[in-house]
Structure 1
Amino acid sequence: MKTIQQVFAKSVSAAQKQWLEEHRMYLGDLHNHCAISYGHGSLSKAIAFAQSQLDFFTVTGHFAWPDMEDGSQPIPQRVVDYHKEGFAKLRGVWEEYLEAMRLSASGGIVPFVSYEFHSFKLGDYTIIRKDLYEGFPPDPEGIDTRLDEYLATNDPRKSGIICMPHHIGYKKGYRGINWDRFNETASPIVEIMSMHGASESRYATPAYLHTMGPVCGENTMQGGLARGFRFGVVGSTDHHNASPGAYGSGRAGVWAKEKSQDGIWDGLLAKRTIALTGDPIRIASFLEDRPIGSVVKATGKPMRFDSYILAPSALAYAELLVDNLVVKTFRPNPARSSSKRFNLSLGWGQRDVSAHWKVTLRAEGAAIVDPVPRFKGEYVVDPLSVPTDEALAVPSLRFDGVSISMSCNTSGNISATTDNTQGFGFGLETDGPYSIILHVEAEVAGETFMHDLLLQSDELQHGPSVLYTHGFVSPALRLSEEIDLSECMLEIHESLDLDSGSSLYVRSFSQSGDTAWSTPIWID
């Protein structure tokens, strides 16, 4: 995959180039669930799903809710029982869970261990651990104050534990973040995007639509920054469906020196993080050549800010924010080059009709490069309402340097505003006319439909191509129009007057609806 220093070779400074050569953005999910507590889908499926498209991951067990029954809020008994059953289930499978997470590393992915505290008064936290061997935390004999103690005293560099608040946007006292009890040492990162929605600001999208309620007041990334806190931002799915890294529901980008536990951990502690909805949009920002997550001394004179954005699909625009205010908007400068990007999506059709797809894609007159999987799990808003089986098998994507092969199951979208498709993006390198050849097999309701498509470059330059498997309201395939790489890249260069105590960050929006939020840089 082309790097930022390659694409922006004429713009990056020597110091920035060196930093970029030493770091790479890795993609992961630090908070998601399966049937080891409450949720559905096996742990083995969750691991396989993560291995299909992520660099690092954890699978999170629901662990405790100390104030569930202290009278803080009225809570239905069925909800109490459901949570208690999940907590007990985790305790029964802990050793098997640890062993499976250790073994997952053989699949080329970096694992971490995690478990979750719910709390009305403190907000919910994911406890992320480096140690893949430590036994189950002992339960207290009296009142459970473990989360309080973590937030008051935890130092990740000594403990190997990160306390990550998540779905922070809910109202304080309703399992949203309590900034009065937030400790940036214990919690170097904050989850601001998940299947619950985005909480970067009160206007961020996707909106909170979960059963737990809407975004409230200052319980956002911007609310924490306004209080003077310094933390990195990440996305993670928080899905309860054994699908870590499900596209569109939240992912974490971490700039790290190496793909290892130590490398990823150091990136998290240094706050070199990007919160993503889905696509691995790379944002590399520098203030006076210092990267995201840095604290830079005020100089009393204009300071140089540079940011480079590189996405797998077309960008719409990016915004630079200083002290939570948009100071400037930037757009790509489309041009013609030899590098192209495409997106392929599979799905649609009737809601209760499943399709099993096998698709092979190759090209003539061009070289295929940089495939990017976009795999989703089942959409579940209320964890008490889950499918009775694992309807979606783990998708697979294979690239042999010449062709891309994808296998997946889809079913119709559950609503007209919910995208339940599967797909991938890919690039072409070409200096002239080219063609894309697709072989499609789709098994629908016991029948197999086969199609071969030959698409020429001149038609791909004018719009997307669509194939229906077998007529009206049948499952369909969509190949996007040609996207020049210049539409997927954007750079920012500004001279800024910045005061001590300020923060600045970049957020980027794609034509596809993907969003990326960078961790800020702070002025001391």
Structure 2
Amino acid sequence: MKTIQQVFAASVSAAQKQWLEEHRMYLGDLHNHCAISYGHGSLSKAIAFAQSQLDFFTVTGHFAWPDMEDGSQPIPQRVVDYHKEGFAKLRGVWEEYLEAMRLSASGGIVPFVSYEFHSFKFGDYTIIRKDLYECFPPDPEGIDTRLDEYLATNDPKKSGIICMPHHIGYKKGYRGINWDRFNETASPIVEIMSMHGASESRYATPAYLHTMGPVCGENTMQGGLARGFRFGVVGSTDHHNASPGAYGSGRAGVWAKEKSQDGIWDGLLAKRTIALTGDPIRIASFLEDRPIGSVVKATGKPMRFDSYILAPSALACAELLVDNLVVKTFRPNPARSSSKRFNLSLGWGQRDVSAHWKVTLRAKGAAIVDPVPRFKGEYVVDPLSVPTDEALAVPSLCFDGVSISMSCNTSGNISATTDNTQGFGFGLETDGPYSIILHVEAEVAGETFMHDLLLQSDELQHGPSVLYTHGFVSPALRLSEEIDLSECMLEIHESLDLDSGSSLYVRSFSQSGDTAWSTPIWID
């Protein structure tokens, strides 16, 4: 996509321009699961899924739950059993896991190693390791105090380990975060968005709807900030379906100097992070030209705050928060330009009826640019409904500079509020009338349905175009209306009176339901 410095060239300061030229936002998932512990889907499928749309990733093994049976909480025996089975399974495949993660780098993606502690006392933590040759941590003979020790003593700059709390919103003592035992040195980043829901604030959406319960009290990003903690925020899917980076379930954006282990790791430690629900909405904020994650000395006079937001689809608004309070809301300023954006989605149809799609998109009178995949994993209710052929479960998107080709598998949504569609976004550069040409093949219940669509630019001004593959309640395709790039961008310039101890951050909302939360900037 176009860069922030290109789109906002007239607004960025010289120092901001230099920083933006040196950094790029990379997209990843730092916490997700597959069948290496408990979960489903192979490790090879998880790696292929990550390679289809991410810049960096890990696959997380369920590792230990030290206080599972200490009497803190009554737990159903079946829950105890499947956790123990998952922990044992991870120990049996660790060397195979490490080798696969090392090999994944040949696919152009940056890998990390990770495993997870559950804990009533501390809340759950993902342990992210930079070393791809890391030996499996030996199990203790007596009481397991390893998580206690990590949280008390870990220094990521020396150890190459990040202790990342996740699904922090649950009640303390019920595997939500325990801010009383939080160590911002050991944990430079906090996961605030996943398939469990969003925990930026007690009102954040999507809501917590998992069996583990609702968001509670101060166990949110804002709760931690109110205590004076300084940490970066990320999203990650926490899906258990071998689908790292599944769109809509949580992703991490990291501003880094290069797409490498060192580059991504340095960005994480510097807290140059964005928590995302799905789309890679880029937020670049500066206070007195210092970027997100910075600590800036109070000046005793108004301080200049600038933020630049660029999304792959239309933005609804952005909010500037100071000390957890919204001080101002900003909206795009739509105009007419030569840069357009579109969203294509496919799926729908009857529940548990699968469709295998092949779609090719071309344009006449315009150049296609910047495709953005939006691939989801399976929302598993009945594991028997998951495709047995994992090749069907890994969507693919190919852009050759002229056309976009996508293949994927979909089935009907499992509820009227669960979006199980697949899709992608893309841009067009054009100075006049244009057309979009779609060739669609959908195989449903052993029968193939083929369609060719020619959509003219004038008809794309007035709303989305919809195609059903073969009649009522059959799988369908939707191409959005034309979206001008000006609707996908927004800038903030404010002069703020800020006190020592304050924090400020930006959250941004898209018209399609995506959200991005920036890491704060703090005032010293």
| Range of TM-score over shorter length | over 0.9
* Partner residue, 1:88: 88
Deviation sequence 1:5-38 (CA, Å, 0-9, x none): 0000000000000000000000000000000000
User: Alpha carbons of 1:384 and 1:400: their partners in 2 closer, same or farther (altered >3 Å)?
Assistant: closer
* Partner residue, 2:372: 372
Would you say the 8 A contact 2:45–2:390 is kept in 1? no
Shift of 1:393: 1.6
Would you say the 8 A contact 1:392–1:410 is kept in 2? no
Shift of 1:512: 0.4
CA distance in 1, matches of 2:72, 2:386: 28
User: Alpha carbons of 1:25 and 1:85: their partners in 2 closer, same or farther (altered >3 Å)?
Assistant: same
**Size of the alignment, in residue pairs?**
524
CA distance in 1, matches of 2:357, 2:286: 43
Shift of 1:449: 0.2
Q: Secondary structure at the match of 1:207?
A: coil
Which 4+ stretches in 1 moved above 6 angstroms?
381-389
Shift of 1:352: 1.2
Q: Secondary structure at the match of 2:342?
A: strand
User: Alpha carbons of 1:387 and 1:451: their partners in 2 closer, same or farther (altered >3 Å)?
Assistant: closer
Q: Secondary structure at the match of 2:490?
A: strand
CA distance in 1, matches of 2:447, 2:384: 34
Shift of 1:244: 0.1
Would you say the 8 A contact 2:435–2:456 is kept in 1? yes
CA distance in 1, matches of 2:106, 2:347: 32
Deviation sequence 1:150-200 (CA, Å, 0-9, x none): 000000000000000000000000000000000000000000000000000
Matches within 5 A, 1:197-276: 197-276=197-276
Would you say the 8 A contact 1:286–1:306 is kept in 2? yes
User: Alpha carbons of 1:383 and 1:24: their partners in 2 closer, same or farther (altered >3 Å)?
Assistant: farther
CA distance in 2, matches of 1:442, 1:384: 22
Shift of 1:387: 8.2
User: Alpha carbons of 1:513 and 1:214: their partners in 2 closer, same or farther (altered >3 Å)?
Assistant: same
Would you say the 8 A contact 1:194–1:250 is kept in 2? yes
User: Alpha carbons of 1:69 and 1:386: their partners in 2 closer, same or farther (altered >3 Å)?
Assistant: farther
* Partner residue, 1:439: 439
Shift of 1:339: 0.0
1:303 aligns with 2:298: no
CA distance in 2, matches of 1:389, 1:459: 39
Would you say the 8 A contact 1:279–1:311 is kept in 2? yes
Deviation sequence 1:14-68 (CA, Å, 0-9, x none): 0000000000000000000000000000000000000000000000000000000
Q: Secondary structure at the match of 1:274?
A: strand
Would you say the 8 A contact 1:339–1:430 is kept in 2? yes
CA distance in 2, matches of 1:190, 1:381: 29
Would you say the 8 A contact 1:377–1:392 is kept in 2? no
Q: Secondary structure at the match of 1:134?
A: coil
User: Alpha carbons of 1:348 and 1:69: their partners in 2 closer, same or farther (altered >3 Å)?
Assistant: same
Shift of 1:299: 0.1
* Partner residue, 2:412: 412
User: Alpha carbons of 1:381 and 1:168: their partners in 2 closer, same or farther (altered >3 Å)?
Assistant: farther
Shift of 1:379: 1.7
CA distance in 1, matches of 2:432, 2:491: 27
* Partner residue, 1:66: 66
Q: Secondary structure at the match of 2:115?
A: strand
CA distance in 1, matches of 2:437, 2:61: 44
User: Alpha carbons of 1:384 and 1:367: their partners in 2 closer, same or farther (altered >3 Å)?
Assistant: closer
Deviation sequence 1:81-122 (CA, Å, 0-9, x none): 000000000000000000000000000000000000000010
1:109 aligns with 2:109: yes
User: Alpha carbons of 1:384 and 1:478: their partners in 2 closer, same or farther (altered >3 Å)?
Assistant: closer
Would you say the 8 A contact 1:61–1:115 is kept in 2? yes
User: Alpha carbons of 1:381 and 1:186: their partners in 2 closer, same or farther (altered >3 Å)?
Assistant: farther
Would you say the 8 A contact 2:387–2:393 is kept in 1? no
User: Alpha carbons of 1:20 and 1:395: their partners in 2 closer, same or farther (altered >3 Å)?
Assistant: same
* Partner residue, 1:349: 349
Shift of 1:134: 1.4
Deviation sequence 1:271-293 (CA, Å, 0-9, x none): 00000000000000000000000
Would you say the 8 A contact 1:240–1:380 is kept in 2? no
Comparing 379-388 with 460-469, which one deviates more in the overlay?
A: 379-388
User: Alpha carbons of 1:420 and 1:340: their partners in 2 closer, same or farther (altered >3 Å)?
Assistant: same
Would you say the 8 A contact 1:240–1:383 is kept in 2? no
User: Alpha carbons of 1:504 and 1:190: their partners in 2 closer, same or farther (altered >3 Å)?
Assistant: same
User: Alpha carbons of 1:81 and 1:384: their partners in 2 closer, same or farther (altered >3 Å)?
Assistant: farther
Would you say the 8 A contact 2:285–2:305 is kept in 1? yes
Deviation sequence 1:376-433 (CA, Å, 0-9, x none): 0012489999888859520000000000000000000000000000000000000000
* Partner residue, 1:143: 143
User: Alpha carbons of 1:386 and 1:456: their partners in 2 closer, same or farther (altered >3 Å)?
Assistant: closer
CA distance in 2, matches of 1:326, 1:466: 38
User: Alpha carbons of 1:161 and 1:66: their partners in 2 closer, same or farther (altered >3 Å)?
Assistant: same
Would you say the 8 A contact 1:296–1:523 is kept in 2? yes
CA distance in 2, matches of 1:491, 1:59: 35
Shift of 1:351: 0.5
* Partner residue, 2:483: 483
Comparing 378-387 with 355-364, which one deviates more in the overlay?
A: 378-387
Q: Which runs of 5+ in 1 are unaligned?
A: none
Deviation sequence 1:113-137 (CA, Å, 0-9, x none): 0000000010000000000001100
Deviation sequence 1:456-490 (CA, Å, 0-9, x none): 00000111000000000000000000000000000
CA distance in 2, matches of 1:205, 1:500: 30
Would you say the 8 A contact 1:378–1:392 is kept in 2? no
Q: Secondary structure at the match of 1:301?
A: coil
CA distance in 2, matches of 1:258, 1:242: 26
Would you say the 8 A contact 2:169–2:220 is kept in 1? yes
Q: Secondary structure at the match of 2:104?
A: helix
Q: Secondary structure at the match of 2:164?
A: strand
CA distance in 2, matches of 1:460, 1:97: 47
User: Alpha carbons of 1:378 and 1:337: their partners in 2 closer, same or farther (altered >3 Å)?
Assistant: same
CA distance in 2, matches of 1:156, 1:386: 39
Q: Secondary structure at the match of 1:34?
A: coil
Q: Secondary structure at the match of 1:413?
A: coil
User: Alpha carbons of 1:512 and 1:273: their partners in 2 closer, same or farther (altered >3 Å)?
Assistant: same
* Partner residue, 2:512: 512
Would you say the 8 A contact 2:352–2:385 is kept in 1? no
User: Alpha carbons of 1:506 and 1:432: their partners in 2 closer, same or farther (altered >3 Å)?
Assistant: same
Shift of 1:523: 0.1
Q: Secondary structure at the match of 2:25?
A: strand
CA distance in 2, matches of 1:87, 1:81: 10
CA distance in 2, matches of 1:220, 1:170: 9
Would you say the 8 A contact 2:278–2:514 is kept in 1? yes
Would you say the 8 A contact 1:39–1:383 is kept in 2? no
Q: Secondary structure at the match of 1:49?
A: helix
CA distance in 1, matches of 2:381, 2:288: 43
Would you say the 8 A contact 1:211–1:382 is kept in 2? no
Deviation sequence 1:310-348 (CA, Å, 0-9, x none): 000000000000000000000000000000000000100
Q: State percent identity of aligned pairs.
A: 99
Q: Secondary structure at the match of 1:391?
A: helix
CA distance in 2, matches of 1:452, 1:157: 55
Q: Secondary structure at the match of 2:390?
A: coil
CA distance in 2, matches of 1:111, 1:363: 36
